[in-house]
Amino acid sequence: MIKFTIDGFEVEGEQGQNVLQVALENGFDIPHLCFHEALEPYGACRLCLVEISKGKKTSLTTSCNYPVLEGISVKTDTEKVIRARKIVVELMLARCPDVPAIRELAEKYSVGSPRFRLDNDDCILCGLCERVCREVVGVEAISFLGRGSNRKVGPAPDINPKTCIACGACVYVCPTDCIKIEENEKERTIVRWSRTLPMKTCKVCNRTFAPWFQLEYFKKITDGIPKDFWDKCPDCR
């Protein structure tokens, strides 16, 4: 175990963990929107900024991609940290003024009307959807597109539209709830990507339970599982 301090309290972390993980496990309140334990840290939203002292050197850094190190000192609420977070929240509020999660952060950090040009988006470009699609699902149906103020996330034009299997992983991890899913007995739609796929019917109980494309993909990537396993709903398995 690796020992270090957070706001003066001694904590322990395991090799391979990052500072944010250990802080959250020990009840410290560090805001974060782009971090998910199932994915590699990315440091996109910058909300998890903390001050870390290592020897005589102190720096402001994102805690989600800073590894736990023996003897470091982490401070989560210094004046410098709060000031930096407020700027990040202000930028997010200017981009996504109507997103509840952003408005809650603005209220928490007493951020009023942004000084920056207002936008009307609901995506903070955290990349969670792109990363879960690539790292966990293994489909890579979503990419970052464009640059600068035109940067966005979505299906790349050169990607075969059949790549998306409508599994809904992107919906699950989205921190601003901007990726919606609609479903009925016949089909499932990932609204933001305009991707609609037919649902498969369980061969035992005749209920629809998952997109046909998703189940066909699972058949291809799994070994040692009978192929008809994916023809039955979870209840009938």
Tell me the domain boundaries of the chain: 2-108, 128-231
What is the reported pLDDT for 159? 59
- Show pLDDT as tens, one digit a residue, over the chain (237 residues): 999 999 999 999 999 999 999 999 999 999 999 999 999 998 999 999 999 999 999 999 999 999 999 999 999 999 999 999 999 999 999 999 999 999 999 999 999 999 998 998 999 999 999 999 999 999 989 999 888 878 899 887 765 556 899 999 999 999 999 999 999 989 999 999 989 999 999 999 999 999 999 999 998 888 888 878 999 999 998
pTM of the full predicted structure? Answer: 0.88
What pLDDT score was predicted for residue 155?
84
Q: What is the pLDDT of residue 161?
A: 54
CA dihedral of 93, 144, 19, 135, whole degrees rounded to 10: 140
Task: Enumerate the β-bridge partners of residue 29.
Answer: none
> What is the model's pLDDT at position 228?
85
Eight-class DSSP state of 186: S
Distance CA 126, CA 41 (A): 11
60 close to 84: Cβ distance less than 8 angstroms: yes
Q: Count other C-beta atoms under 10 Å from residue 13's C-beta.
A: 22
CATH of region 2-108: 3.10.20.740
pLDDT of residue 221: 87
Tell me, what amino acid is at 144? F
Question: Residue 35 burial (CB < 10 Å; 0-12/13-18/19+)?
Answer: buried
Give the whole-angstrom CA distance, residue 201 versus residue 233. Answer: 8
Burial class (CB in 10 A: 0-12, 13-18, 19+), 168: middle
Question: Distance between CA atoms of 47 and 86, rounded to whole angstroms?
Answer: 9
Cβ atoms of residues 59 and 69 within 8 Å: no
